[in-house]
Structure 1
Amino acid sequence: MSGAAGEPRIDHDLVWVIEDSAEDAEAIQRALSRTHPHLTLEFTDRGTGVVERLTETARRPGLVLLDLSMPGLSGSAVLRAIRSRPELDEVAVVVFTSSTEPTEVDATYAAGADSYIYKPVNFDLFRTVLKGAVDYWQRKAKDGGDGPAGQPPS
């Protein structure tokens, strides 16, 4: 966790999930409760107000799981809004979506996503992929931002 007294801090055991599908939100909850029972998950089904909440809260999530296809404010717009705020640079944003459209993947990375992960339909694979993503970002935060498992990038 970071931040001086009174300043917002990053909590790497807090994950915000922005997902409009109740079924996908339930699958994320089930998967992470099995693989990462220590995590605190906060869910919202819309992008509206997310950036404001992130900037106003004293306890910021270490990870945001963001769906792209949402009614109203899209996941892409939320991502751009998060990345436009320098005070949110330490928050990792992982796009977790059902789209595999190459142009969408490229645009998402160009907008500042830390990762782009396709949601598998099979629950066991869904859980495995989600576990790998959360493990990676938690390890990266713990190891000070170096490459996987704290190894410098080659």
Structure 2
Amino acid sequence: MPTQAVDDLIHILLVEDSPTDVMITREAFDYYKLLNPLHVAGDGVAAMEFLRREGQHSDAPRPGLIILDLNLPKKSGREVLQELKADPDLMKIPVVVLTTSKSEEDVARTYGLHANCYITKPVDFTRFVEVVRRISDFWFGVVTLPPARS
């Protein structure tokens, strides 16, 4: 099986304010040898700046997948999702909501805002790492993603 150059890999934007969850996600990438470049935004405002290539993110790559927490400072994950799905340049980027909420209202509202899937974060390290692997397997092994726009 031919290997892909790192430049050809799909970039991932992780929008997560928990340093622990960011660390665990990075460890899962390392453990499963996932080569996809992982970029992190620690709040909703930073996420939109990254996606719109504003300020310090002027040369940011266009992610092919966004992993989004709902409970974020400055701008909630719901607000981020609503903004990016209303933006013609960003709306096609798939969004995986990965959050601690199990609320039926959050699930329904998130899908109503056009999230591509909703996953409740496991609190157990081993299960969390497994969820990251399954996200990668599905989105990069099964699904055909739209081409990233530069």
TM-score class normalised by the smaller sequence: 0.7 to 0.9
Alignment match of 1:43 (pick from 36, 40, 56): 40
Three-state SS of the structure 1 residue aligned to 2:44 is: coil
Instruction: Report % sequence identity.
Output: 33
Alignment of 1:1-150 (within 5 A): 13-56=10-53, 59-139=61-141, 140-141=143-144
Shift of 1:72: 1.6
How many residues align? The count is 134
Q: Normalization by structure 2: what TM-score? A: 0.81
Match of 1:5 in 2: none
With 29-38 and 103-112 compared, the bigger mean Cα shift is at 29-38
Give distance in 2, aligned partners of 1:112 and 1:49: 21
Unaligned 5+ segments in structure 2 are 1-7, 54-58
User: Could you tell me how far apart the structure 1 residues matched to 2:30 and 2:13 are?
Assistant: 14
Runs of 4+ deviating beyond 4 Å: none
Structure 1 unaligned blocks of 5 or more: 1-10, 145-154
Structure having the higher strand fraction is 1
Residue 68 of structure 1: how far off its partner (Å): 0.5
**RMSD in angstroms over aligned alpha carbons?**
2.0
